[in-house]
Amino acid sequence: MRQQTISPLRGAGRWVVFGLFGGFLLIIGLVFLAIGGLRALQTMSAFDDEWSFVPYFAVLIFSIAVIGVAKGRISIGTLHPGDK
């Protein structure tokens, strides 16, 4: 009886911990990518003076697109690989 209760809880806990840790690392990487892209676009001379808003807008659009793709890829799976 104990094995039927504790084993699934350990599996679920491990699933949640790895998911949170992976999500955290993904967010940190995407923030660094967005900041690097913004800095690269800001160094271009085409975006001087009246066009200085374009790099910010481009990074915003890129970030929204990444969020949309990530949201589309999220699926609620099962904790037990044998279950369907």
Instruction: Spell out the domain ranges in the chain.
Output: 24-74
Per residue in 1-27, pLDDT (tens digit) is 666 677 777 777 888 888 899 989 999
Per residue in 72-81, pLDDT (tens digit) is 887 766 656 6
Nearest to 52 by CA among 43, 61, 63: 43
Per-residue pLDDT, 84:
54
Nearest to 39 by CA among 68, 20, 19, 59: 59
Per residue in 27-65, pLDDT (tens digit) is 999 999 999 999 999 998 888 888 899 999 999 999 999
Our CA angle for 35, 36, 39, nearest 5°, is 85
